């Protein structure tokens, strides 16, 4: 422990670090920063830095607002876009109570708890997200517009795509920060991009997702663009998802792979799928956590709508990519990049582990494009839909004790409270669509 600490202090000295940002995430998935001068790093690494938790969403009541940040030394990185002299580094932290116990409202602690449960069953969770986002232009005042000048489509290499340069720099910065980028390409919609990085253990991936969003936004800004992870910014074109590829490892082996079975999928993989499908509706408030998320989950734009699984079919909620061996995985396709990745991975894993423990068999695979079957046919096969709104998602979550147990009382209650308020704020607004439709007609 002290060796790791000395190593970081030495590194900070050698690399001329002047400021360190201590980062943590609130319940809603928003990244928070406390910047300290490097002289405080020693103290910070001992977990002795206090902050006022009452100002952070869902963190504390006013009267018990002192919280302590415990940096995870594995997360020390330097921001590569900052000047070399006077460098800025960051550390991701766990939040602790003054009495030294982990704070129940810390999403990172919450994921750790679920990972420990997986460990007690012999598993490590691996996750690999596919990050989609839009790059929009900004006006003279720097205010984001819904405009992109590119006419590019999927995999296009168009010279008119100004986002291309920005994306290249994002990839380079991420690589310098320890990401192993697997692919980076233009997505289906104009101005839409995807960057994928290599799967690793779930805590590392959740940290990487929050870091990713922060790096992409920062570098877009430096190119005079605005990056957004809003799930569906423009009606009529694809929204941005964050497919969550996931698997369980037992030591060095992928527990989802079983070479002795014709489809190469183990019994555990089947049960995990069974658990995910069983809880898909009640997890939606976490994986699709905004009002806007439900405008992405509609037929026709490669986003899932129905609770089903399939091997190649991209209209299903769960797809099993063809690769086997170490790459055997379940691809959950509804999460979007606005979600809190710590909580999303927590509930996914909780659902999957419940599937394994309770031996939940998934329904048969669904081989044809589900967008194309009739509602009657779908009902006959017992295929349900994902919630159609944040309101419906909150109701589902409120009724699922597995979600309550996975998130813990504190996060569960605060999350439902915050999202109910968000929904209530939205539902009283009058939208342009209503004006178009009703102002003249009635």
Catalytic amino acids? 52, 130, 132, 187, 194, 243, 314, 331, 333
Q: Which of 94, 150, 196, 207 binds ligand ADP (CB under 6 A)?
A: 196
Q: Which string of x and - marks every residue 138-177 that binds Mg ion (by CB under 5 A)?
A: ----------------------------------------
Count the Cβ atoms, other than its own, within 10 Å of residue 351. Answer: 26
If contact means CB under 5 to 8 A according to the sort of partner, which of ligand ADP, Mg ion, none does residue 245 touch? ligand ADP
Q: Which of 147, 182, 380, 425 binds ligand ADP (CB under 6 A)?
A: 182
- Residue closer to ligand ADP (CB basis): 128 or 275: 128
Query: 87-96 and 17-25 as β-strands: parallel, antiparallel, unpaired?
Result: parallel
Q: Does 281 bind ligand ADP (CB under 6 A)?
A: no
- Residue closer to ligand ADP (CB basis): 80 or 321: 321
Pick from 132, 143, 157, 67: nearest CA to 103 = 67
Q: Which of 90, 243, 279, 295 binds Mg ion (CB under 5 A)?
A: 243
Q: How far is the CB of 333 from ligand ADP (least distance, A)?
A: 8
Q: Which string of x and - marks every residue 215-254 that binds ligand ADP (by CB under 6 A)?
A: ----------------------------x-xxx------x
Q: Which string of x and - marks every residue 127-146 that binds ligand ADP (by CB under 6 A)?
A: xx-x----------------
| Nearest residue relative to ligand ADP (C-beta) | 128
- Residue closer to ligand ADP (CB basis): 32 or 288: 288
Long-range contacts of 31-36 (CB under 8 A, 24+ apart): 31/210, 31/213, 31/214, 32/56, 33/90, 34/69
Q: Which of 11, 149, 198, 261 binds ligand ADP (CB under 6 A)?
A: 198
Measured between alpha carbons, how far is 429 from 422 in angstroms, rounded to an integer?
A: 12
- Residue closer to Mg ion (CB basis): 130 or 268: 130
Q: How far is the CB of 127 from ligand ADP (least distance, A)?
A: 6
Point out which residues pair with 33 in neighbouring strands: 23
Site for ligand ADP in 21-40 (CB under 6 A): none
Q: How far is the CB of 193 from ligand ADP (least distance, A)?
A: 12
Q: Which of 199, 232, 278, 419 binds ligand ADP (CB under 6 A)?
A: 199
Q: Does 257 bind ligand ADP (CB under 6 A)?
A: no
Contact residues: Mg ion, CB under 5 A: 130, 194, 243
Contact residues: ligand ADP, CB under 6 A: 126-128, 130, 182-183, 196-199, 243, 245-247, 254, 321, 326-327, 329, 331
């Amino acid at each position: 422990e002290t060796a790791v600490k000395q190593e970081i202090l030495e590194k900070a000295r050698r690399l001329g670090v002047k400021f360190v940002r201590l980062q943590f995430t609130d319940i809603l998935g928003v990244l928070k920063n406390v910047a300290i001068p490097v002289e405080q790093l020693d103290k910070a690494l001992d977990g002795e830095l206090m902050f006022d938790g009452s100002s952070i969403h869902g963190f504390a009541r006013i009267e018990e607002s002192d919280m302590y940040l415990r940096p995870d030394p594995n997360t020390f990185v330097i921001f590569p876009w900052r000047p070399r002299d006077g460098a800025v580094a960051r550390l991701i932290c766990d939040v602790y109570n003054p009495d030294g116990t982990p704070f129940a409202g810390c999403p990172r602690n919450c994921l750790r708890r679920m990972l420990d449960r997986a460990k007690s069953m012999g598993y490590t969770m691996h996750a690999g997200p596919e990050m989609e986002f839009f790059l929009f232009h900004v006006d003279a005042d720097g205010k984001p517009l819904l405009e992109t000048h590119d006419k590019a489509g999927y995999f296009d290499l168009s010279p008119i795509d100004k986002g291309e340069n920005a994306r290249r720099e994002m990839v380079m910065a991420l690589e310098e920060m320890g990401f192993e980028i697997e692919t980076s390409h233009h997505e289906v919609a104009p101005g839409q991009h995807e960057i994928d990085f290599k799967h690793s253990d779930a805590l590392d991936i959740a940290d990487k997702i929050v870091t990713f969003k922060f790096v992409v936004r920062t570098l877009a800004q430096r190119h005079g663009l605005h990056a957004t992870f809003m799930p569906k910014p423009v009606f009529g074109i694809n929204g941005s998802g964050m497919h969550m590829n996931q698997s369980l490892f037992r030591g060095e082996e992928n527990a989802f792979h079983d070479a002795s079975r014709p489809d190469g999928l183990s019994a555990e993989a089947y049960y995990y799928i069974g658990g995910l499908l069983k809880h898909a509706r009640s997890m939606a408030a976490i994986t699709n956590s905004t009002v806007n998320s439900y405008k992405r989950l509609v037929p026709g734009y490669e986003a899932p709508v129905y609770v089903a699984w399939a091997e190649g079919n991209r209209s299903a909620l769960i797809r099993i990519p063809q690769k086997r061996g170490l790459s055997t995985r379940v691809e959950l396709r509804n999460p979007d990049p606005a979600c809190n990745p710590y909580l999303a991975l927590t509930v996914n894993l909780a659902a999957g582990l419940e599937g394994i423990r309770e031996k939940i068999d998934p329904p048969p695979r669904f081989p044809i494009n589900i967008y194309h079957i009739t509602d009657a046919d779908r009902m006959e096969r017992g295929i349900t839909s994902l919630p159609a709104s944040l309101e419906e998602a909150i109701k589902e979550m409120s009724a699922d004790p597995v979600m309550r147990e996975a998130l813990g009382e504190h996060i569960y209650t605060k999350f439902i409270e915050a999202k109910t308020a968000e929904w209530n704020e939205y539902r009283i607004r009058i939208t342009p669509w209503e004006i178009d439709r009703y102002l003249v007609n009635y």
